Amino acid sequence: MDTTFGTEVRSSHEAASVLEVKPCPITPEEEDDQEDGMYAAKKKKKMFAVLISYSGKGFYGLQHNPPHRTIEGELLKGMVSLGLLSETECNKLQAVNFQRAARTDKGVSAARQVVSVKLPIGDGDESKVLGELNSLMPPQIRLMDIRRAIRSFNSKNWCDCRTYSYLTPTYAFAPMDQIASEEYRISEATLAEVRQLMSEYVGTRNFHNFTIKKKATEANAYRFIQLVEVDDPFVREGVQWVLIRIKGQSFMMHQIRKMIGLVMSICRGLTPTSVLAKSFTHDKIETPKAPGLGLVLEQPHYDSYNKRFGEDGTHKPIDWSGLEDQVSSFRKNFIDRDIIETEIAEKSMLEFLRILHMYSFTDGVGSGIRRADALLTSYLNKPDDLNDEDDAQDQINDGAESLPDGQKKIKKHFIAKSKNCLAEDEEESLW
C-alpha cells in the first residue's frame, strides 16, 4: 500500500482542525507594531484623545523629559503601570503617535489640554481606564475624559486655535501716582483702559516685537488673534485679581507675556499709548515680558474636527461639554490657588514692576545696555525669595538679545556676567 497517499489525503474533520489553528491575519497597522517589537498588548491599539487638566507647579514642564518630573512623565508612568504602554514605547513615543495640543513650559498650568495616543482600550472600557489612571496620578493632574478619535487624529495638527489666560493682581496696572500694593483696587476707568488696549491686539498683526529672534519681514511674524476678554476683577487672599483671555490660531515664544507686559507699562504711564500701534510696524520696539506665573493654557479648539467627525455616530467631539463643572472645580482648587499662593509668597509681579521703568521702548544701543545692566543689578540686589533663576536668566538673555547685531561682544559680556551671578547664588544656597 502506498503510504504517501495516506499522508496527503485527510478527512474533512482533520482539514477543519488545520484551518482552526492558522494564525489570524493582522492589519498593516498591527504588522508595523510587530516589526518594531511594540505590539505586546492583546487588544488592537486605537487612537484616543485624552482630555487632561493640570497645575504646573512643581513640574519641569509638560513634555516627557527624563529624569525631570514632568506632566507627561507622570501620565506615561501610569499608562505603563496599567499595561497600556510598554517601557519601549515610552522611549519611542512616535510608535504610538503620541502628541500634545500645545506645549507648556516649567510651572505653566493647563485648565484644558488634549493628548493624542494609540492605546489598547476596548470599546466601552474608557471610563474604567479613566478611573484607574486617575488613581495613579498626583493630585495636581486630573484626566477628565478619554475619547475615541479617528485613526489619523493628531491633537496638535487638528487644533484650529488655542486660548490662553493670564491671571494677575490688578495692581500691575496701577498708575504711577498710585501705590502698587496688595491693597490696591482697580478703578472703572483703568479697567476700561486695560480692555481697550488689549482689544488692539485683535486681528492679524505683525508680532515680531513680541518674541525673540524674529524679523519684521518674516511671514510667520504675522499672527491672527481672534478674541481678547478681560474679566471683572475678584478678591482672593486680600488681593484683587483679574483674568485675561486671549484666543488665537498660534503664538510665538513669550508673545502673550509681552503683549500683557506692554499694556501694563502703558497703563502705569511709563510709555505712551502710541507705542502699541508702533509695535506692529517694522520698527524695532523693546517690549517688557510679564512674569510667567499667571500664564495658563485655557483650551485647544477642534471646531473643524468636531464638525466633520464629532457627530458621525462613532466618535465623540473633542470638546469639554459636560466637563465644565469638573474643570472649574479643579482650576479653582489647584491652578488658581497655586498661582495666587505663589504670587503672594514670591511677589514676582512686584519685582517685575520694580524694573518696568527701565524699559525705554526703543532699539538704541544705549537702551539695550542700560536694560541688560539694570536687570543684572536687579537680580544681584533681589531678596532671596524673589525671582526664579531660570526666569532671571531668561530676562537677562532677552535684554542682551535686544542689542543690535554689531554688539555681540557686549551681549556675550552680559550673559557671562549673569551666568556667574546665577552660579554664585546657587553655590551659596547649598550652604
Query: Between vectors from CA 264 to CA 260 and to CA 269, what angle results, nearest 5°?
Result: 150
In the block, which residue shows the cell 514632568? 70
Spatial separation of the C-alpha atoms in residues 107 and 62, rounded to whole Å: 9
CB 403 within 8 A of CB 411: yes
SS3 state of residue 221: helix
Instruction: Please identify which of the residues 2, 32, 36, 105 carries the catalytic annotation.
Output: 105
Assigned C-alpha cell, 359: 524699559
Spatial separation of the C-alpha atoms in residues 143 and 82, rounded to whole Å: 15
DSSP symbols for 224-268: EEEEEEEPPPEEETTEEEEEEEEEES---TTHHHHHHHHHHHHHT
Spatial separation of the C-alpha atoms in residues 245 and 189, rounded to whole Å: 20
- Residue 164 among known ligand-binding residues: yes
In sequence order, which residues have a C-beta less than 8 Å from that of residue 127 and are 6 or more positions away? none
Nearest partner of 152 among 113, 115, 97, 106, judged by Cα: 97
Residue 21 burial (C-beta neighbours within 10 Å; 0-12, 13-18, 19+): exposed
Q: How far is CA 126 from CA 46, 99, 320, 417, in A?
A: 12, 19, 16, 53
Q: How far is CA 275 from the centre of its chain?
A: 28
105 is catalytic: yes
- Return binding residues: 164
Indicate which residues carry an active-site annotation: 105
- Return binding residues for substrate: 164
